[in-house]
Amino acid sequence: MNRSPNFRTDLCRMRLRLLPLVLALALPAIPKAHEHLAAGAQLPEAGSALLFVNAANYATESGYVVPLELSTNGPYAGYHHAELTFVCQPATPDRGGPAPFHPVPGTHVDAVIETVEGPAGGSLGFWESPGDEITATELTFSVPVGETQGTRGFPVSENDGSPDADPFGHIHGRVFSATEPGLYRVGFRFVDTSSNGPGGGPLHAPSPRFFLHFQSGITLAHIQVGTEGLEVTFAAANDFRYFIEERPQLDGPAPWAPIGDPVTGDNHLHTVALGTGGDVRFLRLRREPL
């Protein structure tokens, strides 16, 4: 079967009782737009907990997925990667504040990666180049799949930790990467690393742990049996249209037949019902640029 650079497949052989999955093909890098994930505080007063301000838009419960694309050259060669920007709500007019849910002045917010779930053998990486907000070229650290008590993190606030410093932060150019194709579920927590609180401790308590989805390459995230037969879940990235197709044999003259309507990518997870079908079905997930 001939495949152009814009033709991606994810094949799986399906029985209603046994559903082994074949991994996705490699993808070339494409430019990615970055999102802004905001740290803040439940109340603008010392002692309150930090929080993920726009979790409703980006946490796993929202269905949002950060798509990571494979690069074949340059500093990210062999990695799936994308830019992602964490910000902190400003407290003073000099930084455009006071913004809703801003931490108190003197707070210095870090984001800590505590847990990583995903494909076996994979790891999540964080890249930055201090002083360069255009392109991160240095792998600062990586966290393996299976980590449950991680302590590696990065600053979100840009202040020097002085008592009256604005907690504001907005650093571009940072990149997240993954080493294996698949869906990653990553647990983060915002922490105040300042020493401006009581007894030289932090001003704010840590946020609750929150989770983000990262989709590395193109794969089927879940295959399950629902009330109307098989259902498949996959991440659909912006700027692409996705097709689920089937045929009774992996090789042979039978053409691939579409199942249902195509899905327009929106950086979210989508679940498509496939019905009961035959005893054996071969499926592929294909995408084309819009």
Which residue in this structure is represented by tokens 């019905």?
A: 275
- Reduce the DSSP state of residue 93 to 3 states and report it: helix
106: left (phi over 0), alpha (psi -120 to 50) or beta: left
pLDDT for the residue numbered 278: 60
pLDDT for the residue numbered 34: 61
CA distance 197 to 204: 8
Q: For the sheet with 138-144, list strands across it.
A: 138-144, 123-128, 175-178, 80-83, 65-70, 210-216, 182-192, 109-117, 153-155
Question: Percentages helix, strand, coil for the chain, rounded to the nearest 5?
Answer: 5, 45, 50
From 33, 30, 32, 55, select the one nearest 42 (Cα to Cα).
55
pLDDT for the residue numbered 2: 37
The residue ranges of the chain whose pLDDT is under 70 are 1-34, 132-133, 277-280
Query: Which amino acid is present at 278?
Result: G
pLDDT for the residue numbered 279: 65
pLDDT tens-digit readout, 46-86? 999 999 999 999 999 999 999 999 999 999 999 999 999 99
Cβ neighbours, 10 Å, residue 96: 12
